[in-house]
Structures are given as C-alpha cells and as structure tokens.
Amino acid sequence: MFILNAANAAIITACLRVACELDVAETLREVGSEGLHVERIAPGKVNSDLLARILGLLAMHHIFREVTPNVFTNLNRISAALDKGKTQEELGCAETRPADASGPAAVVELLQVKILIAEENMKMVAFLGEAALTTQENQRNLPFNHVFRTDETFYAWIECPENAWRRQRFGFVMDATAAWEPPHTILTGFDWSTLPAGSLVVDVGGGNGNTSMQIARTNPSLRIVVQDLDSAIKGAKLHWQSNFPSHIDNKMVSFQAHNFFTPQPITDASIFLLRYILHNWADEKAVLILQHLRAAAQPTTRLIVVDMILAYACPPSAAESGPETYAVEGTTRPSAPSPLLANWGPASSFAYTLDLCTYSYHGGEERTLGAFLDVFARAGWKLVRVYNPPASQLSHLECIPI
C-alpha cells in the first residue's frame, strides 16, 4: 500500500490545488466547527459532487475534517497552513492576489502559489523518465522543454509577453522564498558585522534585493549593489524605496542590470553574495558564473554562496570525509543514529525534491559537499568555512580566491 500511495501522490497535489483555487480554508474558517456542506462552499462555481470527493481525500490525510457526510470544516493547525487570514472580500480582489502578502500571510501565499505551480511541476516530472533513460551526451531537452514545446531556456521563455502572468507568479515565489526560513537567517551564518564600514556587498542575481536588505538593516555601514536582469532591477528599486528608503537616500545602495554569465563589472567587492543561484544551473554554467566573479575579485574578496548542501542517505562516503573536507570548519554535520537514515530521511527530503524540480526547469541541481568543492575548484575558489544556521536547511559557504 505504501508504494501504491506514493505512486498516486500527485492526486493529492491536484486536490490541494482545487482547495487553494476555491479558498476552501478561508471559507470554512468563517463558519467554525459546525462546518459547511460542499454545495455552499463555492456555490455555482464547481461540480459539488466532485468537490465532495476531493475534500474527502484531503480529509483522509487530515488536511480537512468531515463532520457529517459532505460537510467539512478546518482541522486546526494543518488547515491553518492553507489559510491566508483574509476576508472573502479581500480574496475576491484579483489585483491583491498574491502580491500583497506579508508576514505569516506570505508563508501561506507562498505555499498556495507553490501548490498552484505544482500543476506545471507535475507535467514536467512526468518527463523525468525520458531524461533518466537518455545519456547526458544525447540529452537535448529538459522536462520543461517537453512540456511547453519550446527550445528556449526557462528564463528566456518566461520573459515572452504571453507569459507575463507566469512571470509574475514565478517572481512572487522567488521573492517569498525568504518565508521558507526563520526570519533573519541570513544574519545567523556568516558574521556580516566583521566587515569594515564601507565594505561593498554585491548581491549577484539578487532579485528585489530582500536578502541584502536584511543585511543592510543590521549593518547600515555596508554598501550594497543589487544585480539582476533589467526586469528584476525595476522591481528592486521600488522594493527598497518602499521598505528601506534611508539606504537609498544615504547613497549606500545602488542597482545594476547585469547578466551573471557575462564579465562582472565590479572589481572592488568585499563580498559576492549568491543566494539560491547556483542550484539553478548545471556545473558548466555554475562554473562560468563563478569564473566571472573570480576574475573580478581582489585577493581579499570573499564569496558567500547560500544554498542547500545535499546529504546522502548513507553514512558519509570516504570521498566526502577526506582531509580536505575535515580541514574546513562546518563541513561535518551530525548524522542520524541507526536505524534512521543518516540524513534524517523524510525530514530532509525537501532538498531532494527541490533538486529534481530545479533539474526539470533548468537542468540545475542541489549539490553535495563534494560537488560544491569540485565546482569551486574549477572556478578558482577555495572553500574555507561552512556556516549552518539553526532551524535552516540553507548553508552559507564561504570561499576565497585561489
């Protein structure tokens, strides 16, 4: 039965999408513990018989509770994970979905958008079999290319005018990834306060610059440059003007349109920061990004890569337990005791899921420690320390030029 349930897990994802589209958790919140019949949850909008079956499956997985036949209510914390805390009037305003979310609501909006975007994910992972059964030398198309019937890369395709709504949705997901982590996690790894006043931090591929903004709020003497493509930089300027205008007024932050596959124009950086960048790219592209940064680096420049380090389910292999890794502080993390899997099993499965998701979209990957060491060395960087912030799946990998 376990295998059968796992094979049909995509059906649960599809059911969650329906619940998100219909704002079921918000509707049930307003009626309380007595619940609501499916015919009144979204009257006139849906097939109520099918909705009853969909919510019935979700109730089987403790996401909602079936009070009496076809009457459902929320189930405490689990249902609350789908509730944005908005009124029906607010939910009915299309212009505010999902861009106005903040705080706890942003976490829920992110969860719901991820569920909605899972429709695309499910289509793409259906082509993982074709990819796995094709040698790397003969592989020309990613699952993304198969699904959307395009030869473009994902980032080129999403910039097309007809994909504006997808671009907005994708941008929201990227901006809201900060909600995956406890607040200020970026401040609990590398110690930004050790940088001298006036040091320059370049947020490479920084999107709206939210990560570097957190750094600047706590360390206002640091200068920031947010780099990304022109379409993202326009949003970054508005984001900083709305949320941290004093850093703009004090001329401590600037914004630069830049493609990180081209030579890096800034040659006096104290820090090059890459958060959730390298995992989007296969090794050859990741090495190219890092080579451009290495060419622009001073001897004192440091590279901070914020990404997941993929842990093996087996005990650490000899290849990743050698003297070159033991000599680097932070690379040894506690393994789970037997009979648990060494990487804590399902508790760490998100990294493996994201690994295949990034591959399906971009050909990217979540890297093991050994894979990071290889990419860094090929690009002229040396790993000197790994920071593992508490309650976070992200690590901060600190490198120096070699």
Task: Note the pLDDT tens digit of each residue in 10-61.
Answer: 788 888 888 888 889 989 998 888 999 999 998 777 898 999 999 999 999 9
User: What's the CA angle centered on 372, arms 367 and 128, to 5 degrees?
Assistant: 25
Q: Which of 149, 147, 150, 128 is nearest to 139 (CA)?
A: 128
Amino acid at 116: L
- Looking at domain 2-95, its CATH class is mainly alpha
Residue with tokens 């990034």: 358
Homologous superfamily of 181-348+359-401: Vaccinia Virus protein VP39 (3.40.50.150)
* pTM metric for this prediction: 0.83
Q: pLDDT digit string (tens) for 245-285?
A: 999 999 999 999 999 999 999 999 999 999 999 999 999 99
Exposure on the CB side of residue 116, measured as CA atoms within 13 A? 20
pLDDT greater than 50 at residue 106? no
Q: Where in the chain is the domain with CATH 1.10.10.10?
A: 2-95
Residue with tokens 């994909």: 163
Q: Where in the chain is the domain with CATH 3.40.50.150?
A: 181-348+359-401
The pairing of beta strand 271-275 with beta strand 253-257: unpaired
Residue with tokens 């379409």: 231
Q: Which of 239, 279, 292, 396 is the catalytic position?
A: 279
Q: Catalytic site residue 362?
A: no
Q: pLDDT digit string (tens) for 154-192?
A: 888 988 999 887 777 777 666 666 667 777 899 999 999
- At residue 219, the pLDDT reads 98
Over residues 86-102, mean pLDDT:
58
Cβ(343)–Cβ(311) under 8 Å? Answer: yes
